[in-house]
Amino acid sequence: MTTRTTRIPAEGERPAPSAHTEPPRLRGRGLLALLVGGFLANYTFSSVNVAVPFIARDLDATPAQLGLVMGVYATCFAVLLIIGGRLGDGYGRGRLFVVGLLAYTVTSVAAGLVGGVWWLIAIRGAQGLAAALMVPQVLATIQATTRGPARLRAVALFVATSGVGTAAGQVIGGVLLTLDVAGTGWRSVFWFGAVVALAVLPATPALPRTGGDRRGGTDAVGGAVLAVALLAFLVPVTIGPEDGWPPWTIASLVLSAAAFPGFWWWERRREHGGGSPLVPTSVLGHRSVRLGLVMACVFFAGYGAFMYVFALTSQGGLHQSPLVAGLTLLPFAVAFIGVSMGLGVVRRWLGSSVMVVGAAGQITALLMVAAVVVLGRPDPSQWLLQPSLVLLGATQAMMFSPLVNVVMEGVPRAVAGLSGGLFSTVQQAALALGVALYGGVYTAAAPELSLTGAFGVCLAIQATTSVAFGAMALRLRALGRPG
C-alpha cells in the first residue's frame, strides 16, 4: 500500500516547471472584478463604522448590540477565509468569487431592509461569510495568473483598492448619511455596496479559470477546529471590553488557546499521512511566511485601531459631522493610493529597505497627528493635520504592499488560495483585535485625559508597535525576502 504525500518546496527553492507552458492570464475586465471584490469587503466594514450612531437611534440598539453589528462581520469573515481560499483551490476560484459576490449582493440588500437589530446582526454575519468566499480568490487568482512586474502591478492595485475601500467607506458613508437619500438613512450605506457588486458582475466571465483540482478532498475536521479556535478568540475579544470581561469570555479565550495547538497537530498529522490539509504546516515552516504573518498582525491591529479611534475622536471629541470626518481622511487615502501605484519607483530608490523606511515614516506621522490633535483641540489646524495624514498614508502603503508579496511568494501556486486565505484571516482577526485592545485603552483613558488625550495615547502605542514592525522588516531583509 502506498500513500501520496504533497511536498511543499523548501524556502528559496523554485517549484518544478509545470507541464503547462503558459498559465491562464488575468486581463483587464477580470482584474477589475477582483479588485472591486476587495474594495467592497473593506468598504462594508468602514462605512458601517460611520453609520453606527444612526443605527443605534433607528433600531434602539444597546452598545453591546452595536458592538456585535461591527464585530460579527469581521468575525465571520475571518472564520471562513482560509476555508474559502481552499474551496477556491478545489472547486475553481472564479466560481467561488462569483458565488461570494452574489451572496454579498443579497445580504447587502437584506441588511437595508431589516426592522430589528438582531436581524441586522444575523445578516451582518452572513455578509461576512459571503465576503470570505469572495476575497481569498483575489490574491489567489493574482498569484496563479501573473508573474514578475505584472504581479507587482496587480498586487499594487489590490493594495490601493483595499485602502480606498476603507477610506471610501468613511467618505461615502458620510455623504449618504448627510444626503439621507429618499429618507433611507443608514440603509443606503448597505445598498450602495449591492449596487456596486451588481455593476461589476458582468465582468466576472473574464476571470481566468484556475483551481478546480478536487483530488485532495476536504479537510472538514481541520476547518471545524479552526472555526472553533477563531470564534472562541474573536467573539470575546469583540464583546469582552464592552461588558467588563464576564467569566464566559475568559473561558472562551482558554478554549481558543487550546484549539489552535489542536488545529496545528491535526494539520501536521494529515499532511504527513498523505492527505490534503487545510493549511499545510510545511508552508508555515517557512520563516518568511511566519514573520510576514506576524508583521501583518501588527500592521492591521494598528491600522484598524487608528480608523476606529479617529472616527470616535473626530465625531465625539472634535464634534465633526460624519461627512467632515470622512473627508478629513481623503488626502490620507489619496497618498496611500498614489504610493501603492508608484511602489516600483519607490523600490528602485530604497531597495530592500522599503518596509523599514515605511515603518520609520509611520512612527513620525503618528506622533505628528497625535501632537496636532492633542495640542490643537478643540479645533486642530487642517494645515498641520493634513500633511501628517498624507505622510501616514504614504508610509503605510510602503509597508502594506511588500508585506502581501512576502506571504504570496512563500506559498506554492498549487495551494494559491492559501495565500489569500492566510493573509486575509490575519488581517481580519488583527482588525478586530486592534479595535478591541485600543478601544479598551481609549475608553479607559478618556475620563482622565479627554477624548483627544486618549487618541494621543493610542497613537503613541501604535508608534511603539511600529518599532517592532521595523525590526521584523530588518529580519526579513536578512533572510533575503525584502517583499
pLDDT digits (tens, 9 = 90+) for 160-179: 888 778 778 878 888 888 88
Q: Which residues contact 439 (CB under 8 A, 6 or more apart)?
A: 241, 305, 308, 309
For residue 17, with 0-12 CB atoms within 10 Å meaning exposed, 13-18 middle and 19 or more buried, which class applies?
exposed
CA distances from 412 to 13, 111, 266, 284, 417 (A): 10, 38, 21, 12, 10
pLDDT score at 90: 81
pLDDT greater than 60 at residue 332? yes
Mean of the per-residue pLDDT values of the chain: 83
More confident residue, 117 or 20: 117
Give me the DSSP letters along 186-200.
THHHHHHHHHHHHHH
User: In sequence order, which residues have a C-beta less than 8 Å from that of residue 436 and are 6 or more positions away?
Assistant: 237, 238, 240, 241
SS3 275: coil
Give pLDDT, residue 14. 42
Q: Are 170 and 311 in contact (CB under 8 A)?
A: yes
pLDDT digits (tens, 9 = 90+) for 2-30: 444 444 444 444 444 444 445 677 878 88
pLDDT of residue 371: 95
Q: Which string of b and e fits 414-446 if b means at least 16 CB within 10 Å?
A: bbbbbbbbbbbbbbbbbbbbbbbbbbebbeebb
| Residue 435 identity (one-letter amino acid) | V
Name the one residue in this structure whose C-alpha cell is 478643540.
378
User: Would you say 408 and 292 are in contact if contact means Cβ atoms under 8 Å apart?
Assistant: no
Residue 102: the pLDDT is 96
The radius of gyration of the chain's CA atoms, rounded to the nearest angstrom, is 22
Q: Are 203 and 17 a contacting pair, CB within 8 Å?
A: no
The average pLDDT across 68-78 equals: 81
Grid cell of 78 as nine digits? 475571518
| Residue 472 confidence (pLDDT) above 80 | yes
Rounded-to-integer distance, Cα 67 and Cα 232, Å: 16
C-beta separation of 342 from 397 below 8 A: no
**Which residues lie below 8 Å from residue 126, measured CB to CB, with a gap of 6+?**
76, 103, 107, 110
Region 354-382: mean pLDDT is: 92
Stretch 182-208: mean pLDDT, rounded? 92
Q: Is the dihedral of CA 11, 14, 18, 20 positive or negative?
A: positive
CA distance 43 to 57: 22
pLDDT tens digit string along 263-283? 989 988 888 887 778 777 777
- Rounded to an integer, the average pLDDT of 327-355 is 84
> Cα(438)–Cα(445) distance, rounded to whole angstroms?
10
| Secondary element (H or E) of residue 21 | none
233-264, pLDDT tens digit by residue?
888 887 777 677 889 999 999 999 999 999 98
Report whether 278 contacts 338 (CB < 8 A).
Answer: no
217 pLDDT more than 80: no
Predicted TM-score of the model (pTM): 0.79
pLDDT bucket at 480, cuts 50 / 70 / 90: low
Q: Which of the four pLDDT bands, split at 50, 70 and 90, describes residue 50? A: confident
